[in-house]
Amino acid sequence: MHLYICYNYTFIAQYFYQSMPYKVSIQSPLRQISQNCKTKLSACYKPTLLLAFLFGLSCRQPTNGQQATNGKTGVTYTNPLPVKLGDPYVLHADSTYYMYGTSASNGFFAYKSTDMVNWKSVGQVYTCDTAKSWGTSAFWAPEVYKANSKYYMFYSAQWRDNPTHELENFRIGIAVSNSPEGPFVDFSDKPVFDPGYPIIDADVFFNSDGRAYLYFSRCCYKHAVESDVAKMAKQKGWYNEIEESWVYGVELKPDFSGVIGQPVLLLRPPVAITDKQAEWESRSVTAHEVNRRWTEGSVTFKKDDIYYIMYSANNFAGQNYAVGYATAKSPLGPFKKAANNPVLEKNIAKGGTVSGTGHNSISFSPDGKEMFCIYHARTTATGDERVVFIDRMAVKNGKITVDGPTTTPQPMPSGTILSGKK
């Protein structure tokens, strides 16, 4: 049983440790990395313990996100973690976890950890060059991948080239570094490509055949769409029109200099109000938050010959932000949304304190045995500020489940070496 994850060239994961079933050539950078992944998986995913001693933590008082037992880092953690950012993305490289996210007006901050619970800031790892950068503002949703001993950050920002002065002129670009801790510098003086409309939320999936695919969200901006929900909203006097964001996929060139072919539409909000997905994906409209329906923040992986794409729906700034998923037999679909959507949503109606759960990424425990959903959310205590949660998730028989959101003590990720213990 194999699981190929899009979030890291050198960490294309196996859910259970077995030998890789494919062979690839090394004629292109992508194929070379695929071969490297095959070589390194035995080291990455054998069920051995990660020797991660958390320096100094035993001397501190416990903060939100960790528990203390006898002066040592405890055997549990509690959400939310003490990391304040949106759109969290986790890279696992060289026995260290690195977290990136929406965090600064002119770039991105990063954090590192050995256990996904206790994070240390490494500072701002990307800062736009105001004279040379193609992006000027709205730096959002960075994701970092390793290729040929370098680290490539895909991110979205407001494009400088804006002759019609659009309010949302977002595109996706790349910055590169020799280290996951940066500094990252722009790979080019322009975005990866220009589809002719604003796009955000880049996610890259590296297939077992050596090809790479870029997934992104077309923004709602100036994208009014007819649907049963739009008709209802107009009839009830809520809104005159409903704008929508859609998720697309397209193959990347091996050197990341552009894309191959035209983007393919993969996911969009339902047209018919009788569609079972329509209720939860339209809550931002029916709750009168805003005249938009979103499909964004995607993350793609493969397990047992099934391609999974997780996505977030509704307004990221509202309570109804939630996560669903869809499945397909190929990287570019067609994708079918799951009957058990949403798999992650607010728990306020059930007496909880969490809302706005979304834009997740995926990682594994230090020993590779447990799969985690990393996402941002809000609580009654944090207010409008987005904070990071991690919760266990599972993929079985074509179905994804997420055990969250949790705010009670949870066992530390398996394979964690606790401070002061052998």
Q: What is the pLDDT of residue 419?
A: 58
| pLDDT over 60 at 26, yes or no | no
pLDDT digits (tens, 9 = 90+) for 151-175: 999 999 999 999 999 999 999 999 9
Q: Mean pLDDT across the chain, nearest whole number?
A: 86
Three-class SS of residue 182? coil
Q: Quote the CA–CA distance of 373 and 202 in Å, as a whole number.
A: 18
| pLDDT over 70 at 6, yes or no | no
Q: What is the pLDDT of residue 129?
A: 85
Compute CA 263 distance to the chain's CA centroid, rounded to the nearest angstrom. Answer: 20
Q: Quote the CA–CA distance of 33 and 28 in Å, as a whole number.
A: 9
Burial 141-171 (b: 16+ CB within 10 A, else e): bbbbbbbeeebbbbbbbbbbeeeeeeebbbb
The full DSSP string for 253-289 is PTTSSSEEEEEEEEE---SSTTSTTHHHHTHHHHTTS
Q: Which residue has the higher pLDDT, 61 or 388?
A: 388
In which band, very low, low, confident or very high, does the pLDDT at 136 lie, cut at 50, 70 and 90? very high
pLDDT digits (tens, 9 = 90+) for 173-200: 999 999 999 999 999 999 999 999 999 9
A 10 A CB-CB count for 300 gives: 29
| pLDDT over 70 at 29, yes or no | no
pLDDT digits (tens, 9 = 90+) for 70-113: 223 569 999 999 999 999 999 999 899 999 999 999 999 999 99
Say which residues have a Cβ less than 8 Å from residue 236's Cβ, sequence separation at least 6. Answer: none
In which band, very low, low, confident or very high, does the pLDDT at 9 lie, cut at 50, 70 and 90? very low
Considering only CA atoms, which of 342, 347, 346 is closest in space to residue 357? 346
Mean pLDDT for 385-410 is 97
Q: Quote the CA–CA distance of 343 and 311 in Å, as a whole number.
A: 10
Evaluated on CA atoms 281, 282, 287, 289, the torsion sign reads positive
Q: What is the pLDDT of residue 131?
A: 77
